[in-house]
A = this chain, B = another copy of it.
Amino acid sequence: MISIHNEPQPTDLGDVRVANRAVVLRHVRLHAPCSRADIAARTGLNKATVSSLVAELIEQRLVRETGLTENRVGRPATMLVLDGEPYAALGLQIGADELVAVAIDLGGNRLLTWRRAFAAGAVPPAETLRALAALARRAVGRVTAQGRTVLGLTLGVPGLVDSAGAVPLATALGWRDVPVAAELRAALREPAFAVGVDTVANLAALAELRHGAYAGTADLVHLTGGITVGAGIIAAGRLLRGGRGFAGEIGHVSLDPAGPVCSCGGRGCLTALVGLPAVVRRLLPDAEADGPITDYLPELDRIVALARQDDPTVLSGLADTGRHLGRGVAVLADLLNPEAVVLGDHFATLAPWLLPAARSELAARALAPGAGGCRLDASTLDTAAALGGATAALATVEAGRLPTR
């Protein structure tokens, strides 16, 4: 109800132009096809300003005119749509058992989605970063060959990422103090575009905000699964990062001091209860009979097959997992009061069997009536973190800064 802006910012005319350019771009993205008059009427900008901004955006090929005209009284108006075809960005993601690359154009169209089997937890960090750089170079080559300019690349890492793009700790990978952004830039050999690093959870949350079933929801959490569990938190339309960029680490919050031991050294952490290794161990007690599990995705496929056959042990284990998951989501609901929590990775794969128990537990545990309006659903996005990485790399243009080609 009360809104205190901590830091009002002075506005000069250059900033105004950048801000207004962002407003026009956003309006076209959300409401295309639309006319210049529509934009002026709906944004409150005057018509001359809109015309001047649109001219510039057309010249930069960020917006284009369609052949269509608006059906109305008076002079027919030319309709505008987002162009953005000349511009692309890349997202990379270190997943369980795989590396992923996604490229999109400024209009949000997927240009490529590549998955490469790779066990990042089993090799030194430098080897993973070399493999990522090789994957990125091939993807950039493909996109460039189509006549597009790559504006940026963002890598998603399952772990803590600091504001310089270094990873102090990634328990899922066994990484400690790895200068990821610096090493990736070096491995890419002076790329002409910006290289960023963020957590898979943050990037997946950005993908949800822009491309998911709850796109545009101001208070939204994406819960990543896989080897570790993490939350990407959108609060009031922005990613919540905290003081050093380490927010969202729900995976190592202890829900039960008497619970199973976790890879972080704690007990009863959400990761130890519902992370992919914990789920495989709970549901497929035989999986470790031949030694440690190296690939989790085939085991996940086995679980799905058994669940589809109504295997009673697997169904009961999935219901238990759903209850633990619901307790974790209730913590998010109590602290953040999101409008929706969206489940990614193995939670999305197993959603048909996890959601009933998880939703009951959320409703029973959260303090606010009806869990404060929090919906719980599976993500509809494939490779959300990589998609979010590509989305994040387009942020400067969307904020109204013109690209340099």
Contacts and interface: CB of A to CB of B under 8 A. Distances in A.
A290 interface: no
A221 to B, nearest CB: 10
A292 interface: no
A1 B399 contact: no
B196 A242 contact: no
B6 A246 contact: no
B373 A244 contact: yes
Contacts of A2: 154, 196, 198, 206, 239, 392, 395
A96 B251 CA distance: 35
Interface in A243-265: 243-258, 264
Given A6-B218, A12-B44, A266 B365 contact: yes
Interface string A354-388: 00000000000101110011100000000000000
Interface string A187-226: 0000000001110000000100100000010110000000
Nearest to A394: B4
Contacts of A264: 367
A2 B181 CA distance: 13
B256 A368 contact: no
Contact of A337 (B243, B331, B399): B243
A321 to B, nearest CB: 16
A7 interface: yes
Interface in A275-302: none
Interface in A1-57: 1-12, 16, 19-20, 22-23, 26, 43-45
A77 interface: no
Considering residues A10, A248, A332, A365, which has the most beta carbons from chain B within 10 angstroms of its beta carbon? A10
B240 A44 contact: no
A168 interface: yes
A346 interface: no
Given A1-B165, A395-B3, A240 B336 contact: yes
A105 interface: no
Contacts of A4: 206, 209, 238-239, 391-392, 395, 398-399
A253 B331 contact: yes
A26 to B, nearest CB: 6
B8 A368 contact: no
A257 B160 CA distance: 28
Contact of A240 (B16, B235, B258, B391): B235
B338 A160 contact: no
Given A255-B254, A365-B254, A231 B11 contact: no
Contacts of A97: none
Contacts of A400: 8
Given A11-B20, A45-B10, A244 B372 contact: yes
A26 B1 CA distance: 21
Given A236-B240, A244-B372, 17 more contacts: A1-B196, A3-B238, A4-B239, A4-B392, A4-B395, A5-B237, A10-B23, A12-B44, A169-B367, A169-B369, A240-B336, A242-B339, A243-B339, A246-B372, A249-B335, A254-B327, A255-B255
6 closest residue pairs by CB, A with B = A242-B337, A6-B237, A8-B22, A243-B339, A246-B337, A249-B334
Interface of A: 1-12, 16, 19-20, 22-23, 26, 43-45, 154, 160-161, 163-165, 168-169, 196-198, 206, 209, 216, 218-219, 231, 233-258, 264, 266, 327, 330-332, 334-339, 365, 367-369, 372-374, 391-392, 395, 398-400
